A and B are shown apart, each in its own frame.
Chain A
Amino acid sequence: MRQVPYGADCKEQKFCYKGCLRVKIESEPIWGGVPPRQKHMNNRHRPPLNARGGLLFVCSFSFFAGRLYAKIAGIFFLPLLVWACNFAATPDPTHVEVPVTPLANAADQAVPVARQGVLLGFNLNEVGNIHLQVKSDVSPTLQIASYTTGREQMTLLVGCLVATGAGLVFVAPLATVPAAVGPLANTMAGAGASAVAVGEAWSLDSLLGSGRIKLLKDVVTSVDLVAGLQGALERFLGARDMALQEMQGGLDVVIAGYGFQTAKDGETCCFIDVRTLLKIPGCDQQEDRVFLGAEEPREPDLPPAYCTDLQRFLDEDGALARQALTDNAEIAAAVIAQRLQRRLR
């Protein structure tokens, strides 16, 4: 993106603005979808299926074996097994597209209000009436690397280790009992430990992870960002209903992306990508972009993205996630209004 001074090629002085900026986006299409994906999220290597099977076999074998040292070795294989199971169950980290809902994807039902020749417009700094149109051409995006945190996985591993070790204290003496009791005890111990490991891995990712995915999807689809952004812009720009004939220009505000994404440090960030296109007769179109998210470098008039643990976003039925999305719309609207104030002088 390159910013160049504006002014020289504007012919009609009525709508010319001194010292304003024209923003050219050179490297990507103007209304192009979601922010660039983060490469690190695609580079994770999963252990192959046969490797996980091998781990399961080794772990089970060591438990089923009669020797005590083999059991203890089995304990140390368990974390590896659980990790492998966890990894296998982790949702695809690259990109989860949320199902499009009529509420969220409103490209063809842009909010502008055309009530019998009446449109929403504003008049900043007496440059003329400008028609305000807010729409969205995307569905919400969730680019979450993992729905369970490293700390949760570590807690699971350590908990599994301690539980298995403690259980072995009671089971191990049975291994010394001859005849049928010993093998039976071994079998039960091995089966129990494997069941615990697999069960915990399943519960962590299937219950916790899928629950979080569902909640986050519900949150992003329940927030009407187009309405939120339009409402905020109306307030900041002082927009009101105007007759179609009175309009002397137009401001298209398009939500080009919003949702949640994992930042480089592993935190989850709420983001919104808004593009604006200001059209004034006789002047070049002015394009601008407001991206609130974990993108560096940040423009000086933008606050830092709100990034925190995914779990914190989802606490209390996703209250913080909802608030972060609506706050982003409010902030984006304020930034758009402030930039317009500077340009339309």
Chain B
Amino acid sequence: MMVFRTTTVLSLCLLVLGCASAKISRSSKEVMPVSYELLESARIVRSVGKLRRLAALPVQLGVSPENPKGCLGACGWVGLDRLIEEEAILFLRDKRGYEVVALQDAAAGGNAGFSPEELSQYARMLATNAREGTPDQPPDEVVTLVRRVGERTGVDGLLVIQGKATDMGLAEWGLAYASFSLTLPLSLMRMGVSLRADVFEAKTGRNVWTSTLSSGGVPNASEHYAMLLLGPIEPAVPRVLTK
């Protein structure tokens, strides 16, 4: 019995530790910027990196349990969406050389040309299209939307981050307690954060780059999900090679 328990604990440790891994599931070769031209004498190979000016839409993060009171203690996902957005912008700017416009801040300040409500609606629409649409043949309304946002903000592409953060709810704790931890492994497996980042090309409205991240364990602000998610993105074309 003792050995069985030890093995169970070790297996649970493996589950709780989890592992975060990001992978590029899509990267289009033919990408066209609109905000600059590459120097004729420059020879640098880039795909998504050509879109050096990006606009970041608000992060669309689904959470579970939806009611913060449903968590045992503080939910790990509280404030996580905003944190992911800020970290993504900082990472792209400081580590990969992109110029990133935070549309949420611009809309709140009245500088984006659309209201925060409109922006949320745009973000939801693009997130749905990223999940369910055909990347190379976006529907007309998506093309129109991406072009409109691109023209108003003067960017080469739009960055859409979406995902889900799942914490363990009170009900699951209760169930685990009642079942003598029998349901605990299932609850632990359900916990975690899954994210997806898509970049839409402003010129054509196509989805040209996708990265996904899956991370186990309690959603935790110190995990740097955005850095892990966007880690595989290539560096932007340096300003010195543009005109």
Are B241 and A331 closer than 8 Å at their CB atoms? yes
A166: B residues at CB distance < 8 A: 7
Q: Which residues of A contact B95 (CB under 8 A)?
A: 304, 307
Q: A-B contact count, CB below 8 Å?
A: 79
**Interface pair A312/B232, CB less than 8 Å apart:** yes
Q: Which of A300-323 contact B (CB under 8 A)?
A: 301-304, 306-309, 312, 323
Checking A158, A169, A303, A312 against B4 with a beta-carbon cut-off of 8 angstroms, the contacting residue is A169
Q: Known contacts A232-B43, A309-B231: does B10 contact A334 (CB below 8 Å)?
A: no
Q: State whether A304 touches B94 (Cβ < 8 A).
A: yes
Contact yes or no, A338 B2, CB < 8 A: no
User: B74 in the interface, Cβ–Cβ < 8 Å?
Assistant: no
CA distance A335 to B240 in the complex (A): 6
- Is the C-beta of A155 less than 8 angstroms from some C-beta in chain B? yes
Cα distance, A154 to B94, chains bound together (Å): 29
- The answer to whether the Cβ of A236 comes within 8 Å of any Cβ in the partner chain is yes
A250 at interface (Cβ–Cβ under 8 A)? no
Residues on B with beta carbons closer than 8 Å to the beta carbon of A323: 45
**A161 sits at the interface (CB 8 A):** yes
B1-43 interface (Cβ within 8 A of A)? 2-4, 6-7, 10-11, 13-14, 17, 19, 39, 41-43
B164 interfacial contact with A, CB 8 Å: no
Q: Which residues of A contact B17 (CB under 8 A)?
A: 154, 158
Q: Is the CB of A330 within 8 A of B44?
A: yes
- Specify which chain B residues have a CB less than 8 angstroms from the CB of A154 in the assembled complex: 17
- CB within 8 A of B3: which of A151, A158, A169, A338? A169
Instruction: List chain B residues, Cβ under 8 A from A302.
Output: 240
Contacts A72-B2, A330-B44; A161 near B13 (Cβ below 8 A): yes
* Interface range, B side: 20 to 34
B152 within 8 A of A: no
Enumerate chain B residues within 8 angstroms of A151, measured Cβ to Cβ: 19
Task: Check: B97 CB closer than 8 A to any chain A CB.
Answer: yes
Whether, in the assembled complex, A165 has its beta carbon less than 8 Å from a beta carbon of chain B, the answer is: yes
| Assembled-state Cα–Cα distance A128/B109 (Å) | 52
Determine whether the beta carbon of A331 is less than 8 Å from that of B7.
Answer: no
Q: Within 8 Å of chain B (Cβ to Cβ): is A14?
A: no
Q: Say yes or no: B10 contacts A162, CB within 8 Å.
A: yes
| Interface residue B192 (Cβ < 8 Å from any Cβ of A) | no
Contact between B97 and A303, CB atoms less than 8 A apart = yes
A169-B7 in contact (CB<8A): yes
Q: Is B239 an interface residue (CB 8 A)?
A: yes
A287 within 8 A of B: no
A236 (CB) vs chain B CBs: closest residue? B41
B3 touching A331 by the CB < 8 A rule? no
Distance between Cα atoms of A105 and B45 in the complex (Å): 26
CA distance A7 to B102 in the complex (A): 43
State the Cβ distance, A164 to closest chain B Cβ, in Å: 9
A192 to chain B, nearest CB (A): 16
Residues of A close to B19: CB separation below 8 A: 151, 155
Asked if residues A162 and B14 are in contact (CB atoms below 8 Å), the reply is: yes
Task: Using CB atoms, name the residue of chain B closest to A170.
Answer: B3
Task: Indicate the member of B44, B238, B240 with the most A CB atoms within 10 Å.
Answer: B240
- Known contacts A162-B14, A169-B7, A309-B231; A338 and B44 CB within 8 A of each other: no
Other than A232-B43, A330-B241, give 19 A-B pairs with Cβ distance below 8 A: A68-B2, A68-B3, A75-B10, A151-B19, A161-B10, A162-B7, A162-B10, A168-B7, A172-B3, A235-B41, A236-B41, A303-B239, A304-B97, A304-B235, A312-B231, A327-B44, A330-B43, A331-B241, A334-B241
| 6 tightest A-B CB contacts, nearest first | A235-B41, A303-B238, A303-B97, A165-B10, A334-B240, A165-B7
Provide 20 A-B residue pairs closer than 8 Å at the C-beta atoms, listed in order of the A residue.
A68-B3, A158-B17, A161-B10, A161-B13, A165-B11, A232-B43, A235-B42, A235-B43, A236-B41, A304-B97, A304-B235, A307-B95, A312-B231, A312-B232, A323-B45, A327-B45, A327-B235, A334-B39, A334-B42, A334-B238
- Residues of A at the B interface (CB closer than 8 Å) are 68, 72, 75, 151, 154-155, 158, 161-162, 165-166, 168-169, 172, 232, 235-236, 301-304, 306-309, 312, 323, 327, 330-331, 334-335, 338
